């Protein structure tokens, strides 16, 4: 009896954790920022607070996580032309 109760509790915690992770991942970034800012008002462990501080900052818009500028574009000289060579008939 105790074993089934413990298994049910473990399964419920696992499902809850997975649900929270999926909701956080699929949440729009604006909603994630608002939620992270609200959660930072609570006394949280430093590891969790550091991740929430990172999520509370506005995105830079260049697609990276937290840099202040866009990634440098490669110079035009580094673009290489692709040449296709036809096979010789057999």
Residue 14, pLDDT score: 97
- Domain contains 73: no
User: Per the domain annotation, does 43 fall within a domain?
Assistant: yes
39 within domain boundaries = yes
The 10 Å Cβ neighbour count of residue 37 is 14
> Following DSSP, what letter does each residue of 35-89 receive, concatenated?
HHHHHTTS---HHHHHHHHHHHSPP-SSSSSS-SSPPPPPPGGG-------PPPP
pLDDT band at 68 (very low <50, low <70, confident <90, very high): low
Q: Please give the tally of structural domains in the chain.
A: 1
- Domain hosting residue 33, numbered range: 2-58
- Residue 54 inside a domain? The answer is yes
- Residue-wise pLDDT tens digits, 22-58: 999 999 988 999 999 998 999 989 988 888 888 888 7
Residue 76 lies in a domain: no
**At a CB cut-off of 8 Å and minimum separation 6, what does 57 contact?**
33, 66
pLDDT of residue 74: 61
Residue 49 counted as domain residue: yes
Q: Is residue 44 part of a domain?
A: yes
Give this prediction's pTM: 0.57
């Amino acid at each position: 009896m105790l074993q089934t109760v413990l298994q049910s509790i473990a399964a419920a915690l696992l499902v809850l954790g997975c649900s929270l992770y999926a909701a956080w991942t699929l949440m729009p970034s604006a909603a994630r920022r608002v939620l992270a800012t609200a959660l930072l008002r609570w006394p949280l462990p430093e590891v969790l607070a550091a991740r929430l501080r990172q999520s509370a900052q506005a995105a830079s818009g260049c697609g990276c996580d937290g840099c202040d500028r866009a990634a440098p574009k490669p110079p035009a000289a580094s673009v290489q032309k692709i040449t296709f060579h036809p096979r010789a008939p057999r």
